[in-house]
Structure 1
């Protein structure tokens, strides 16, 4: 028979597992919506490019780091120095920004986000995650947490892009 402390500990473990499962389901749901948006609104070239970039996103982050990878996506998402929101690179960067700055459906709290940070105004400003990375209020611990979160979200983007979008020939 469990005593009260063991029961409380077991309950806390169950709550953490449920929270992890919920956030994972939410990552999957949002990634699925983004990939379905690409399927519905993009030409064949953009679909193939998005699939290719989504497949390599986590490798790029692990090799180069989050900041340089986001900078690469921003640079490749431009035409003649202007952001082209229809390019696959721009769309992937936008999807990452939306995930990181978006409110969580998992909680009933008003101010509950997928990624918690003390300098949210930098994350929500023009430039999104790139702006946040360069903000003086962003600590190295926050940067590492952001990297981990983008990698977790990137796994779902990769899975769904591979399943739904055609390969480049």
Structure 2
């Protein structure tokens, strides 16, 4: 059985290698690198809203929703990835326990995404 951190790493690796094949890998990498600071500074909901408004990082939003809402609590899930805004939609009815858990798990998952994005994606052009 894999540890939680190993499962995070595996999901993050698949997300980054998939992002590398897409045209928006620069936007993906930029968003991954800046998102933890945005979450700490503004909160998870506002940070995700900002990404959704930009409209260029749906792959990242979908990966975060998939991990936090499905693959983290259900390691053997084979459900398809949820919509890009699924995690943000949960905030409408979520209690503070969910919000804290989702924020903590998103930050832990982003550690792996950042490591792999730095290693696998080309330098983002400014």
Q: Under TM normalisation by the shorter chain, which class is it? A: 0.7 to 0.9
Structure whose alpha-carbon radius of gyration is higher: 1
CA positional deviation for 1:60: 0.8
Unpaired runs of 5+ residues, structure 1, are 1-18, 78-86, 105-111, 115-123
- Residue 63 to residue 35, structure 1, CA distance change in 2 (3 Å): same
CA contact (8 A) 1:30 1:99 kept: yes
- CA RMSD, aligned part only? 2.1
- Residue 126 to residue 47, structure 1, CA distance change in 2 (3 Å): closer
SS of aligned partner of 1:102: helix
CA positional deviation for 1:143: 0.6
For residue 61 of structure 2, the aligned residue among 67, 78, 93 is 93
Q: Which has the higher contact order (CA 8 A, sep 6+)?
A: 2
Q: Distance in 1 between matches of 2:98 and 2:41?
A: 19
TM-score (normalised: structure 2): 0.85
Unpaired runs of 5+ residues, structure 2, are 76-81
CA contact (8 A) 1:39 1:47 kept: yes
CA contact (8 A) 1:52 1:167 kept: no
For residue 129 of structure 1, the aligned residue among 59, 75, 87 is 87
Q: Distance in 1 between matches of 2:84 and 2:52?
A: 13
Q: Deviations over 1:49-81 (max 9, x none)?
A: 21111111111100110000110111111xxxx
SS of aligned partner of 2:91: helix
Q: Distance in 2 between matches of 1:65 and 1:33?
A: 26
- Are 1:113 and 2:91 counterparts? no
CA contact (8 A) 2:16 2:113 kept: yes
For residue 105 of structure 2, the aligned residue among 149, 154, 164 is 149
